[in-house]
Amino acid sequence: MTTAPEQKTLLSGVSFVSLVAPTEDLFYSTVEFYTDLGFKETFVYDRTHPTTKREVDHCLSSEKETWLYSQSESSNESNDISLKIRFVSDAVHHAHGIVRQDPQKPPERTANSKESYDWRGSSQSIVLCTAFLPKIAALLKSKNILCQFQPSEREACEIYTHDPIGTLVGFTAKANPFTRIRPTDGYLSMTKAEQMMEISRPTTAGGKRKRIGVMTSGGDAPGMNAAVRAVVRMSIAKGCEAYAIYEGYEGLVKGGSLIKRMRWEDVRGWLSEGGTLIGTARCKEFRERAGRLAGAKNLILNGIDALIICGGDGSLTGADIFRSEWPGLLDELVKKKELTQEQINPFQHLNIVGLVGSIDNDMSSTDATIGAYSSLTRICQAVDFIDATAYSHSRAFVVEVMGRHCGWLALMAGVSTGADFVFLPEKPPAAGWEDEMCDIIAKHRKLGKRKTIVIVAEGAIDRDLKPVSASYVKDILVDKLGLDTRITTLGHVQRGGTACAYDRMLATLQGVEAVEAVLESTPETPSPMIAINENKITRKPLMDAVKLTQSVAACIKNKDFEGAMELRDAEFEEYHRAYMATTKPEDLQVKAPVDKRMKIAIIHVGAPAGGMNAATRAAALYCLSRGHRPFAIHNGFPGLVRHDSVRELTWLMVEAWAIRGGSEIGTNRSLPSEDMGMVAWYFQKYKFDGLLIIGGFEAYHALTELHQARTSYPAFRIPMTCLPATISNNVPGTEFSIGSDTCLNALIDYCDAIKQSASASRRRVFVVECQGGRSGYVATMAGLSVGALAVYTPEEGINISMLQNDIGHLRESFANDKGMNRAGKLILRNEKASKTYTTEIIADMIREEANGRFESRTAIPGHVQQGGTPSPMDRVRAVRLAVRCIQFMEENHEKTSQQILEDAGTSAVIGIRGASVVFTPVHDLKEGETDWSSRRPRKAFWLDLRSIVDTLSGRMGEPQGS
């Protein structure tokens, strides 16, 4: 039958799809299956429920019905989807004379095996359009639902699975070809409100969405804005409403405009901002019950029953008191008739979660606090600048840093900068310290050092609790040593500036965990503090951590300095020992016996990385303090075999290397296997007793070759260690490599500048190419730290579906900007993410698909990512690991040649796993933990962070109303 051109079709689209479940369990499983995909439950009918009214469109045979709805992005109603899930028992079917067909079962064969047939030939199917095929695949895999990819899993353009009642359900990015009005970005299968596949919406007792408040209190710390951003976006992603309480507890007490609902876009660009954009202030009113009463009233009026507070121990203590008084405060508000019983009924419990924002790193039970490493960065930058003028004039500088009860900043600054002496509250110097300090500085000067740096914590004391002031130290240096001495008090400069990469990462991950803690807490759960321990984000009882922290001050007050040091983390004492060992030359008390003194070779292998020189310096100085002889092999193994480039290191030669980037002794990627015989000959010539290899994957590879060569070359039967140093962080046996933090800081500085340019031009996307080899660590962590819209890594690869989804997300993101600031977008691509989809091609594809609505550019920082001056984190880690390496050689020195040959543990990679320093035999790593073809570990701790990057960037979809 033909239809006249002017005649309209009688049909305008599909009304709904009806699916029938034969059992109640399958009914509920099917409803759950589709709600997980983003469908929203709109109506429920239960024939057995007395209050449920049967409508005319409810089937007589249905015992239960649930209507599900998915709204498309298009205004064309035919693109919306409605499902009716029915439960009809077998008894009802037989009563109506209906013979039920067995639901089609998924094939028993593996979905993507060569033997499996094409599921698309099955009957009773639904095919849904989606812009999120990778997310659909991830969801199905997470629930262990068997699925089939067409044409293959890597290049999937269609995905098929079966719902619990046997219906074949397909997913494709291809829209209905006959739809006249195209959806803006192809979002058809999920409702706009549920694009993040978070269908569960936490609610209060009153049925409203749960509201989570976030505030910053106490002294500001870099990274607080990153924490607020993470809390706001994660709260929205979890279906909650986020509120910012401005000006700390003062905003809580005053309420009104100081309590503001936060939308998704409100926190755009906050990662690169210093201080706290929602403010902090001291509040005397909150210390009184009347102030807390006002705070409780303001929370209830705004519907908030959960608070995430970023501050120090005082701020967190006040929050826990507030929680403990909450029931009484509510009763008092009702008695005073400021609120009604109906108003307070949904808010009987107040959730409190603490994030520690403190530049002093003075909270017990956590390895690091938000802002501490950023503050250390400011201090080291200042001391590095002072270092130049001190050298020029042969002066002494006394630098005062913050730390009233905690000497972490002072100690780490001393380790990072190679300071001559440090003063800490927890470790006061012994009586007569003035003479000890002068003796050490005099020896340094006698050895040829032209500058002197002394670092004093503001809370520094002697063993009689008498303050050690910067002015007093200056007078000692002037009077006893006759040094031209200046004082520099850094003050609040230490709090300023943007957060470093580590603080952005830490604050983001802790903010995400804080939201999870809120949603999982019960009235019986103690208020948690979000901490980081052994490189894992953890929860600790808030008040236990506060009490331990306050115990440190009590120990100092009672002159129990050993107790104060024990209450600090284990690293603190170790760093102090390492610092003293590298700053006291010719100390006879720590010399090794003459017959146990060693000749130790140090070599750099691979590309340069920040911290290589700091590690070499620490190893050499520790050797000298123990009576060993350190030798540098210049320019790697080629330098050794071609030029006999072995030079003995002296104290003065390496003393200034702590702050230098690159490699002072030169580095080379070549392996010893290129001429193993000559390498062995030179080792035998110099009679080396130990070898320290500093470098990346090539250094690790070199160690494996030397270990294997022990059977043929006795010269290699010595203790040998590899200290990982590479920006790629791809060495097996460690979670952190020296130089990776320096790289991340250089990269986020670059990206911040690029993003500023993109914002100024309003509608621009930069595709930034990151180094990292076949490891996506740098790209992922940088993406987390700069808020990249998408991150492409070698582990995940790039396919056309992924690019299509991301370009669609870009279009929507720019469409929603509406003239706001900070509108620039970044995409980070690892250099080895794909051979086909290069940085230029991705930028060209974005430009082509933008249709003039926005533009794209490429940015390739290249070797800028290796950084200049090493970051403080890389410096302190370099010192700790280098000293441990020399100690490892000392422990194995007495073993005979045959014992070392038989002991695989004498060739090891030193690494940080969690908070522990471990030595892993290179033989074990080679066999079980190394992906040799990709030059990276088989498992990496950071892979799980990719989903957080996608969620907070909005790549998985920005929720409705955000």
Which amino acids are annotated as binding site for ATP, given as ranges? 219, 282-283, 312-315
Q: Which two tokens stand for residue 219?
A: 């002294």
Q: Which two tokens stand for residue 543?
A: 């008040």
Distance CA 9, CA 30 (A): 33
Distance CA 941, CA 735 (A): 7
Q: Answer whether 592's CB lies under 8 Å from 628's CB.
A: yes
| Amino acid type, 395 | R
Distance CA 832, CA 838 (A): 9
Which amino acids are annotated as binding site, given as ranges? 219, 282-283, 312-315, 358-360, 395, 402-404, 458, 486, 492-495, 669, 726-730, 764, 771-773, 831, 857, 863-866, 935
Residue 355 has φ and ψ, to the nearest 5°, of: -115, 135
State the DSSP string of 366-395: -S--BTHHHHHHHHHHHHHHHHHHHHHHT-
Task: Output Rg (C-alpha) for the chain, integer angstroms.
Answer: 32
DSSP assignment, residue 50?
Answer: T
Strand order in the sheet with 720-724: 646-648, 629-633, 599-605, 690-695, 720-724, 907-913, 916-921
Environment class of 9 (CB within 10 Å of its CB; exposed 0-12, middle 13-18, buried 19+): exposed
Which amino acids are annotated as binding site for substrate, given as ranges? 358-360, 395, 402-404, 458, 486, 492-495
Q: Which two tokens stand for residue 580?
A: 């003293």
Catalytic residue among 36, 305, 360, 950: 360
- In Å, how far are 48, 231, 281, 306, 859 from 542, measured between CA atoms? 48, 18, 22, 15, 44
Environment class of 816 (CB within 10 Å of its CB; exposed 0-12, middle 13-18, buried 19+): middle
Which amino acids are annotated as binding site for beta-D-fructose 2,6-bisphosphate, given as ranges? 669, 726-730, 764, 771-773, 831, 857, 863-866, 935
Residue 126 has φ and ψ, to the nearest 5°, of: -130, 135
**Which among 45, 128, 140, 50 is positioned nearest to 85, based on CA atoms?**
45
Q: Is 844 a catalytic residue?
A: no
- Which residues on neighbouring strands pair with residue 811, listed in sequence order? none
Other C-beta atoms lying within 10 Å of the C-beta of residue 1:
2
Residue 647 has φ and ψ, to the nearest 5°, of: -130, 135
Distance CA 962, CA 599 (A): 64
Q: Answer whether 625's CB lies under 8 Å from 639's CB.
A: no
Distance CA 162, CA 166 (A): 5
Contact residues for 349 (Cβ-Cβ < 8 A; gap 6+): 305, 326, 523
Which amino acids are annotated as binding site for Mg(2+), given as ranges? 313
Distance CA 715, CA 693 (A): 16
Q: Which residues are catalytic?
A: 360
